[in-house]
């Protein structure tokens, strides 16, 4: 089992590195872009090493979760600075900064950050995974921590920022397409913000209603369902994920405005947002499996409401 796990995780990392290598190797970078990429990969490597060491020592594997919203701000402003503070690069960094600050605040109010930086609230999914039979071995969990949590996720965060590097040195002026990309990306930030606020309000209220020990089934609707079906969540199972993925796919489109058309509009650097999409497919599936085991009505919710398309509203009576 351990050998199989290590093999699968190694293959995932190797594929990711290989695809990134092909993308980077098949593009004629300027010396400034090459210098910038070296800096970005050094930061990425240092972050992965930090997440693994601190996660293993503290037994809190949410170290990457804490950095997820901060690293893109660092990456994109490094690119903007190295690119001479070009308006397109600053627009990319601006969206990443607004997104990152908002996500950091949302994570902080859940208790993720502490003065003792290695402490803080851990993502509940890590503790559940650690209880699985295949992760009972400390070596197995360490491999998962190293390859998936620390290396793979750090590579994805770097990859979603790489389209900004492609915009460096562009001779195409900031135009209508770029302005449209900026507005749409900020729109996705607003969508994710609204979804997170509704989620926060729901679980805060649910906590207040059950703090005296009242069983979940005995509190008022819709809180008695256990999971959120208010606002956007009544029409989509993961409106926050839609916003998250939409932001980075939209930001990729700055490369089109910049005239990076060597391969058409679908350049190899779309791979970053696509990796993010695959990550969220796995994350949402795990979350839904856990919720289906905790809440009797959750399977009805899945059968009625799409993940990302607001086609039907959830009816708890069906």
pLDDT at 8: 52
At 265 the pLDDT is 60
Mean pLDDT, the chain cut into blocks of 10 residues (318 residues total): 51 64 70 94 96 91 92 97 96 97 90 80 77 78 86 91 91 93 96 95 93 88 92 94 94 89 64 82 83 90 91 86
How far from 15 is each of 4, 8, 121, 133, 246, CA to CA, in Å? 16, 11, 31, 26, 24
CB 253 within 8 Å of CB 270: no
Rounded to two decimals, what is the model's pTM?
A: 0.86
Residues 55, 149: contact at Cβ < 8 Å? yes
Distances (CA, A) of 95 to 72, 178, 279: 10, 12, 21
> 21, 160 in Cβ contact below 8 A?
no
**Tokens describing residue 7:** 């093999």
pLDDT of residue 81: 96
DSSP 186-230: HHHHHHHHHHHHHHHHHHHHHHHHHTTS--GGGSPTTGGGSS--S
What pLDDT, on a 0 to 100 scale, did the predictor assign at position 5? 46
- Residue 94 has a pLDDT of 96
What pLDDT score does 181 carry? 96
Distance CA 188, CA 272 (A): 18
């Amino acid at each position: 089992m351990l050998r199989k796990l290590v093999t699968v995780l190694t293959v995932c990392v190797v594929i990711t590195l290989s695809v990134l290598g092909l993308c980077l190797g098949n593009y004629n970078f300027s010396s400034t872009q090459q210098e910038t990429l070296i800096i970005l990969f050094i930061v990425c490597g240092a972050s992965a090493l930090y997440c693994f060491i601190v996660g293993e020592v503290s037994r809190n594997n949410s170290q990457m979760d804490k950095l997820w919203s901060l690293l893109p701000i660092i990456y994109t402003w490094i690119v903007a600075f190295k690119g001479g503070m070009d308006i397109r690069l600053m627009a990319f960094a601006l969206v990443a900064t607004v997104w990152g600050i908002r996500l950091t605040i949302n994570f902080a109010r859940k208790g993720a950050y502490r003065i003792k930086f290695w402490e803080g609230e851990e993502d509940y999914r890590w503790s559940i995974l650690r209880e699985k039979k295949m992760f009972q071995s400390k070596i197995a969990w360490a491999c998962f921590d190293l390859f998936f949590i620390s290396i793979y996720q750090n590579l994805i965060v770097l990859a979603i920022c790489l389209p900004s590097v492609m915009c460096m040195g562009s001779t195409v002026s900031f135009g209508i397409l770029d302005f449209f990309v900026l507005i749409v990306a900020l729109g996705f930030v607003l969508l994710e913000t609204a979804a997170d606020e509704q989620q926060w309000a729901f679980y805060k209220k649910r906590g207040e209603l059950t703090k005296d020990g009242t069983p979940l089934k005995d509190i008022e609707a819709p809180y008695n369902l256990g999971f959120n079906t208010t606002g956007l969540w009544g029409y989509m199972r993961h409106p926050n994920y839609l916003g998250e993925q939409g932001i980075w796919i939209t930001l990729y489109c700055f490369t089109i405005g910049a005239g990076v058309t060597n391969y058409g509009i679908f350049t190899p650097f779309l791979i970053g947002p696509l990796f993010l999409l695959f990550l969220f497919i796995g994350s949402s599936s795990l979350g839904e499996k856990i919720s289906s085991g905790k809440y009797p009505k959750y399977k009805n919710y899945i059968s009625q409401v799409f993940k990302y398309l607001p086609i039907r509203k959830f009816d708890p009576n069906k």
